[in-house]
């Protein structure tokens, strides 16, 4: 076998369609574009969804609902999820390590779903009123994020702790 004699398998390659090469080719004259009109001309086309001036479908249909762009940064954890964790001190990093929240999540809220029977310390996590009551009833505490950290970010947190 020699490199200059290698060819693709029979039938694996198809010749490119050559349009506008005379009537005898089968795709001559109008070159498969039909007669006249915007789509027959070079460079003549329209935007996606254009319906020839008729009100397009995406504008005829009613608009409903809203999906927040920041939704992907918020996460929820149930009391039952916290009960299953081995750690007693829980923060955002430990929840990510346990696989309870996705990697993009920046804000986590504990919701009252399930039971909590052990003492936990939650750092930097939010909680619903019912979840907070359940955590405190089990002997646990919720340590909120200081206001300085939330507003200004890491630089202010470093300055506040120093």
Identify whether 3 is part of a domain.
no
Identify whether 14 is part of a domain.
no
Q: Are strands 89-90 and 141-143 parallel, antiparallel or unpaired?
A: unpaired
Residues 6+ apart with CB under 8 A from 12: none
pLDDT of residue 135: 94
Identify whether 147 is part of a domain.
yes
Identify whether 108 is part of a domain.
yes
pLDDT of residue 115: 92
How far CA 1 is from CA of 8, 11, 13, 53, 99, in Å, comes to: 14, 21, 21, 61, 55
Total structural domains within the chain:
2
Do 96 and 61 lie in one domain? The reply is no
Do 73 and 140 lie in one domain? The reply is yes
Do 79 and 143 lie in one domain? The reply is yes
pLDDT of residue 60: 96
Domain that holds residue 30: 19-65
pLDDT of residue 157: 60
pLDDT mean for each 10 residues of the chain (162 residues)? 94 93 92 91 88 94 91 93 90 93 93 92 93 94 71 61 62
Identify whether 9 is part of a domain.
no
Token pair for residue 25?
Answer: 């080719």
Determine whether 139 is exposed, middle or buried from the number of CB atoms within 10 Å of its CB (0-12, 13-18, 19+).
exposed
Identify whether 7 is part of a domain.
no
């Amino acid at each position: 076998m020699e490199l200059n004699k290698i060819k693709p398998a029979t039938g694996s390659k198809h010749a490119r369609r050559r349009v506008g090469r005379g009537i005898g080719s089968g795709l001559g004259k109008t070159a498969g574009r039909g007669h006249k009109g915007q789509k027959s001309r070079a460079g003549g086309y329209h935007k996606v969804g254009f319906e020839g001036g008729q009100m397009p479908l995406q504008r005829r249909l009613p608009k409903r609902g809203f999906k927040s762009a920041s939704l992907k940064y918020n996460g929820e954890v149930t009391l039952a999820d916290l009960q299953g964790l081995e750690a007693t001190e829980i923060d955002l990093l430990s929840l990510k390590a346990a696989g309870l929240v996705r990697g993009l999540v920046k804000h986590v809220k504990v919701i009252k779903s399930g039971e909590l029977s052990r003492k936990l310390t939650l750092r930097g996590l939010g909680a619903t009123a019912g979840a907070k009551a359940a955590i405190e009833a089990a002997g646990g505490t919720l340590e909120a994020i200081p206001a300085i950290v939330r507003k200004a970010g890491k630089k202010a947190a470093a300055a506040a702790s120093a």
